[in-house]
Structure formats: structure tokens, C-alpha cells
Amino acid sequence: MIKIDRNYIFSLSALLQSVYLVNKIATTDYDALSASENLLKSIYLKNTFETKDIYGDCKNLMDGHNLLKQILKGKNNISIITMQKYALNIILIQKNINKISDLKGLIGKKIDNYQEDSMIATNLNDLVTYSEEIYTEYIGIIRPRVVISGKKEYLEKNSSLIRALLLSGIRATFLWEYHGGSKWQLMFRRKEILSKCDNFFS
């Protein structure tokens, strides 16, 4: 049986941190650029599977961690249901990426190209643009699509960052899968996952 450990909880929290920020910038006038930096940079860290090396301190994922606990406890307000739907669609997209021949390799090559460009690497706005480009070129064609709900003005203003954050959510899902994660565990091992949540967030 898969062990619910730090890497499992951190990567799942990172997925939910991504959708939390997506929902926030789609529905409010929140400037999430600096709050997104950790998630966006995680896309381009390929030399480790250790979540602490990728995401740093647990405080960087606190909103995702809190959202995870609310979902596991069965909270069902409109906002939580919406974010849960985004996360489940991202999980399905990640599964479908694995099914499409060579797609994962093409995405990996695009990420490698970014890593070789030190000028892009020093500019957060360029990182958003590059990540959006990957999402649009390789992820936008995959079903199910993640359809984001929100206010038109915020959706238009933050469209690039939304796509970049969705890409970071997909990255987190690949990491979660590597550490044994699956959507079935969220149904059948809900209490166990919840009991482990605060072990690694203190």
C-alpha cells in the first residue's frame, strides 16, 4: 500500500495551491504574481523528486494545504466545489498526457529549452509568458479542458498567469503520481490522508 508521506502531501497541496490561486485571480482583483513564483519555478525543476527541494518551506503551500483539508472534511461551498473541479480536471489531463505518444517528451524538451535560457530565468513575467506558451501549445488541445469561472475583467487581465498556474498544477500532479497519488485514494483513503496533513505542516 502506498505510504502517505511528506512528498505525497506536499505535491497534492501544490496542486491545490495552483487552483486556489487560479480561482482567486479569476474572481478578485488580487495580484498573485509574487505568490505564484514558487509554483511557476517548480515547473522547471526536473532534477529531483523531493518536494521540499522543489517547493521549499511548507508555508509556500499553506493555502493549498488548507484547501486540501477542507475538501477531505467534506466542505462543499461553491468556491471549494469549483476549485475541486479544477483539480480533478487537471488530474485527468495529466493522465491523458501520459496516454498521448511523445507528448510528455515534447513538453519536457520545451522545459529544457527554458532552462538553457538564463535571461528568461531571471524575469518572472517572461516565465509566465513562457509557461503560458507551453500550456497553449501542448495542453490546450487535451480534454477535458479546464474551464475557469470568474469575472470577465479578471479572466482577461490574468489569462496568461491562469494558464501558467494550470501548468504548475499539472507539474504537481505528475509529482503526486510519482509519489503514489491517485484520485481513488482521495475517495477511499480520505481519513488517512487528512490525519497525515498536519504532520508535515508546522
Residuewise pLDDT in 10s, the chain (202 residues)? 788 999 999 999 999 999 999 999 999 999 999 999 999 999 999 889 999 999 999 999 999 999 999 999 999 899 999 999 999 999 999 999 999 989 999 999 998 887 655 544 568 898 999 999 999 999 988 888 999 999 999 999 999 999 999 999 999 999 999 999 998 999 899 999 999 998 887 6
Query: Could you check whether the bond before residue 144 is cis, i.e. omega within 30 degrees of 0?
Result: yes
Q: Show the DSSP H helices in 100-197 as ranges.
A: 103-115, 118-121, 124-134, 152-157, 159-178, 183-188, 190-197
Q: What are phi and psi of 151, to 5 degrees?
A: -85, 135
Domains of the chain in sequence order: 6-200 (1.10.3890.10)
Give the C-alpha separation, 100 to 103, whole Å: 6
